[in-house]
Amino acid sequence: MVSATITGLGIALPPSSAQDELWDGFFADHYAGPTRALAQRIFANSGVRTRQAVVSPLLEDVSGWPTERRMQRYLVEALPLGKEAVDRALTDAGLSAAEVGLFAVCSCTGYVTPGLDILLARDMGMAPDTQRLFVGHMGCYAALPGLGTVSDFVTARGRPALLLCNELTSLHVQPAAARVDTQQIVAHALFSDAAAAVVVVPGAASGYAVREVAAVTDTSTADHMTWDVTDLGFRMGLSPRVPQVLSQHVAGLVDAMLARHGLVRSDVDGWAVHPGGPRILNVVERELALPASALAASRSTLATYGNCSSPTVLLILDALRRRPDPPRRVLTLAFGPGLTLYAALLEGAVAR
């Protein structure tokens, strides 16, 4: 069987700001009374040092904007950011846009029609017969089912595919609530903007081969993580019980997938774990009995870029492959609404 291999990866980031600067310049005034002290502690303990935004709250307060205005701005900002990530991924892979057989786009932070898939395919010079797929509202784990879909296409059709994850969470800052809303404070402290694209091709001699993508969903906890469309943008629901649910499923998902390939945890030398927050990483580290160094790239990504939703695991993969001695086997993990856990096993040599 022809393998599907990641041969190109491109990242695009809007301007960044320090977490302390965001607190002092906007969020300290966004919250009042006893909420302010709680929010300050959450911001300080978020594990985030810097993060980026297409619409910085230091320059524009979007918290009172209606959803229509936010969606109009989404298109203005998402197109150039996505184009930059796609161009970098294609250049990295040595591939032209006209050679792409399937173009898949993941985004849960904005909706427009014609969509990013159509508009970017036009602007990048993709062929008229390029197949397209838009994946919306899957949240932070969307990169992995997206990667599984484009990999299946590559294996079945023998043609290259391209995946873009493009999230603009800065468009969804919510108005300050009259009551304490810890979930919104956590979302405001963690989330960030980014675009990341990967090129997957058949039978490449170098890169990371996609060996398997697997998932488990605990529908009994579907209310633990939500992303609701409101008149004032999209509103995050994030239960503090999420880490507990992950602790019940992560080891079983990982061990079963590795066993299907005759592997155990110690055979994995690269871990790309979505940093939903410090507690999430602590739970994964504990349940998989990993050394502290195993999640260094995930913690560093959270600190430097924040939680960028679906592009985040691709940012971590990019950091791993750029190491002087890049890992041979990478296991990626991401989590989101459902409550859903996704994993992907990548294996191979990194092209130089």
Q: Which residues contact 342 (CB under 8 A, 6 or more apart)?
A: 141, 144, 145, 213, 214, 215, 333, 334, 335, 336
Active site residue 165: no
Ramachandran region, residue 139 (left: φ > 0; alpha: ψ -120 to 50; beta: rest)? left
Query: Phi first, then psi: what are they for 319, rounded to 5°?
Result: -65, -40
For the record, the structure tokens of 273 come out as 């774990």
Alpha helices in 12-95 (DSSP H): 19-22, 28-30, 34-44, 67-93
β partners of residue 227: 236
Q: What is the mean pLDDT of residues 236-245?
A: 89
The residue from 106, 108, 140, 165 that is catalytic is: 140
> Is there a contact between 346 and 329 (Cβ–Cβ < 8 Å)?
yes
- Whole-angstrom Cα distance, residue 211 to residue 113? 34
> Are both 161 and 247 inside the same structural domain?
no
> Are both 57 and 198 inside the same structural domain?
yes
pTM over 0.85: yes
pLDDT by residue (tens digit) across 175-217? 987 677 899 999 999 999 999 999 999 988 789 999 999 999 9
For the record, the structure tokens of 81 come out as 């950011």
Question: Could you list the residue range(s) of the whole structural domain that residue 313 is in?
Answer: 208-347
Count the domains in the chain. Answer: 2
Q: Which pLDDT value is given to residue 83?
A: 98
In this structure, is residue 296 part of a structural domain?
yes
In this structure, is residue 67 part of a structural domain?
yes
Q: What is the mean pLDDT of residues 10-31?
A: 97
In this structure, is residue 352 part of a structural domain?
no
- 138 Cα distance to chain centroid: 10
Write down which residue in 202, 226, 250 finishes a domain. 202
> Are both 168 and 264 inside the same structural domain?
no
pLDDT by residue (tens digit) across 141-168? 999 999 999 999 999 999 999 999 999 9
> Are both 85 and 106 inside the same structural domain?
yes
pLDDT by residue (tens digit) across 28-80? 999 988 899 999 999 999 999 999 999 999 999 999 999 999 999 999 999 99
> Are both 214 and 193 inside the same structural domain?
no
> Are both 155 and 222 inside the same structural domain?
no
In this structure, is residue 247 part of a structural domain?
yes
DSSP-based three-state secondary structure for 265: helix
Amino acid at 161: A
CATH number at residue 195: 3.40.47.10
Neighbours of 76 (CB within 10 A): 10
> Are both 102 and 215 inside the same structural domain?
no
Bridge pairing between strands 329-336 and 270-273: parallel
> Are both 143 and 241 inside the same structural domain?
no
For the record, the structure tokens of 262 come out as 């005759």
Task: Report the candidate in 168, 170, 172, 137 with the shortest Cα–Cα distance to residue 65.
Answer: 172
> Are both 191 and 267 inside the same structural domain?
no
> Are both 140 and 227 inside the same structural domain?
no
In this structure, is residue 317 part of a structural domain?
yes
Task: Report the candidate in 69, 49, 242, 56 with the shortest Cα–Cα distance to residue 139.
Answer: 242
Q: What is the mean pLDDT of residues 244-254?
A: 95
- 21 Cα distance to chain centroid: 24
Write down which residue in 202, 218, 235 finishes a domain. 202
pLDDT by residue (tens digit) across 258-277? 999 999 999 999 999 999 99
In this structure, is residue 76 part of a structural domain?
yes
- 337 Cα distance to chain centroid: 13
> Are both 212 and 178 inside the same structural domain?
no
Write down which residue in 202, 227, 257 finishes a domain. 202
> Are both 293 and 329 inside the same structural domain?
yes
